[in-house]
Structure 1
Amino acid sequence: MPLKKDIPVRTLPKEFGNGIAIAKVSPDSFWEDEETMQAHRHDYHFFVLQKSGVTVMEVDFKQYRTDKPTIHYQSPNQVHRALKVENIEMFMLIMSNENIPADYLNILQSISPLEPLEIGPEDLEIIEKSYNLCVELYERTTDKLYPSLLRDSCNALIGLLISIHLKYTKSADSLSRFERINKAFFLALEQNFQTLKRPADYATKFNISVSYLNECVKNVTGFSVSYHIQQRVILEAKRLLYHSDKSVKEIAFELGYEDYPYFSRLFTKICGMSAKMFRSKNHD
């Protein structure tokens, strides 16, 4: 029996045994990678500085056009593809989970998903310097402390990129209690949406009542806990419907629904069309 096609996951090539890869890409050195133009996920963290040129990216059904200095972060879970790349000059850093400090991973998880962020001249200058240093160290494979030097320099770069993103995000100290609980809920939701489907499951995690959890989330977002649980499940369903050839029943089971008719009704209610119609419409 042939294997079902699933969402492609691009893994770090074996030659990057230390779990780190970094490169500078110029218009002369860029080549169109057919895999990049097809929707895929990574099993690593992907940090990009686009210095010049034009890119159009699709990330989880949203399109982003970039034609100014911009930083991008794509987490391992996101499905994305390049739609257009012209005269691109950019830096790329790939890091596996085990190479990034736990505190950085926690911050990335708490602020993801991140949209491309346009940066000014000052930020561009220091980020480009940091990337250039990492690229130089990446080539110095004979240095006695090569793995540590490379990992530490790349994490300094990641810390810088996170810091710049945080300039546009409220710090934890300035968050209200409602906002802190809302943030914790979304972090827990991302980790558990396939298995935990009831607001009570999440309220129990925070030792608060369902009504108070709902009050916090609704105060910050305008929508209930149930709404966000359903939206996260349906986003994953859309990913699988669009990028794999698994049946709707298989997708329902993968997302934690043994009751296929219930899942089917839920999808139709959220999307305004059946799962089969969504797949057919988006494959035309």
Structure 2
Amino acid sequence: MPGTSIPVNSITNKLDYSIAITRKTFADTWLSDELREAHRDDYHLFLLQEEGSTEIKIDFQAYRLEPKSIICIHPNQVHHLGPFFRGKVSFLIMNNESLLTDQLNLLDDISPLKPLPLDDESFNTITNTISLCIRVYEDKQRKLYHKLVKESCNLLVGLFISQYMETITPYDKLSRSAQINKLFKSLLDKNFITAKRPADYAQMLNISTPYLYECVKSITGFSISYHIEQRTILEAKRLLYYSDRSVKQIASDLGFNDYPYFTRLFAKVTGMTALAFRKKNHD
């Protein structure tokens, strides 16, 4: 059942250290209530489905992780895991401070991500690297323990990222319009609560609003305002579904001082009122 807010699992409540890696084998079962209920994490979660399958839901989208596939879940994404169907799954969790800066930036660039199947060679490389990381992680008496854990797990993250980057055009190969659109999307995800106008993002990028509009429109087919509205309403849906906060409270949480405007915007984007959305998804 929904609570007063979307639960956030904190790495500091789980670990003495900011990294953890493990491999688990499951019969047809669920994980703990904490993981199978909708929540966010304040860390990055990397999964490798080695055998069997796992059902996962990320921001209202259901997926099924099949054997030899990976997924990365970012801290801001609402998700829940399970059940597992006779699965073997490897888990790596790392917070922002544990990730190399370059890799953290790349993760921001390529988010959000869907499950990605691996070829046999890539699967074997990642599986063997996970086994190495687990051995290093479990040998807590080893000299330079924290350094070795951090560097080995960042190697693993790099392998995950490289698999996704093979499916994505590198930033330096993008057109100027595509680069600006990518930067806009990254800024939007971080600032949508406080920055509501296209001019806000143009100012952050140090370009004119008409030029930003031209770039975003040419790449996506939609206006800047459309993307701002969609990102805002996604967050509103999360709060309506996973919390019991009132619509007025949610509007305030999302930076709207004009409550009637928020309700009109929600209806315009979704085709239904906020209360109708909540009722439909809880029935």
Q: What is the TM-score with the length of structure 1 in the denominator?
A: 0.96
Query: Structure 1's 82 and 14: CA in aligned 2 closer, same or farther, altered over 3 A?
Result: closer
- Paired residue secondary structure (1:36): helix
Secondary structure, aligned partner of 2:81 = strand
2:140 pairs with 1:153: no
Offset from partner CA, 1:84-118 (integer Å, 9 cap, x none):
32111111000011111111111101111111111
Using the alignment, how far apart are the partners of 2:29 and 2:37 within structure 1?
17
Query: Is the Cα–Cα contact under 8 Å of residues 28 and 85 in structure 2 kept in the other structure?
Result: no
Say yes or no: does 1:107 pair with 2:106.
Answer: yes
Task: Map 1:1-284 to 2 at 5 A.
Answer: 5-12=4-11, 14=13, 16-27=15-26, 32-284=31-283
Identity rate of aligned residues, in percent?
A: 48
Deviation at 1:206, TM superposition (A): 1.6
**What is the root-mean-square deviation of aligned Cα atoms in Å?**
1.4
Unaligned 5+ residue runs, structure 2?
none
The count of residues paired between Structure 1 and Structure 2 equals: 281
Q: Secondary structure at the match of 1:35?
A: helix
Amino acid of the structure 1 residue aligned with 2:51: S
Distance 1:222 1:75 in 2: 26
Q: Where does structure 1 lack aligned partners over 5 or more consecutive residues? A: none
Counterpart residue identity of residue 74, structure 1: I
1:15–1:198 Cα change, 3 Å: closer
The amino acid of 1:259's aligned partner reads D
Judged with a 3 Å threshold, the aligned counterparts in structure 2 of structure 1 residues 261 and 70 are, in CA distance, closer, same or farther, namely same
User: What is the alpha-carbon distance in structure 1 between the residues aligned to residue 30 and residue 196 of structure 2?
Assistant: 44
What letter matches 2:221 in structure 1? G
* Counterparts in 2 of 1:22 and 1:268: CA distance versus 1, 3 Å: same
Task: Give secondary structure in 2 for the equivalent of 1:82.
Answer: strand
1:24 and 1:92 in contact (8 A); partners too: yes
Paired with 1:56 and 1:83, the residues of 2 have a C-alpha distance of 5
Aligned to 1:86, the other structure's residue is in SS state strand
Offset at 1:33?
A: 1.4
TM-score after normalising by structure 2: 0.96
For the structure 1 residues 14 and 82, does the alpha-carbon distance in structure 2 shift closer, same or farther, using more than 3 Å as the test? closer
Query: CA deviation digits over 1:230-262, x for unaligned, max 9?
Result: 000000000000001111011001100000000
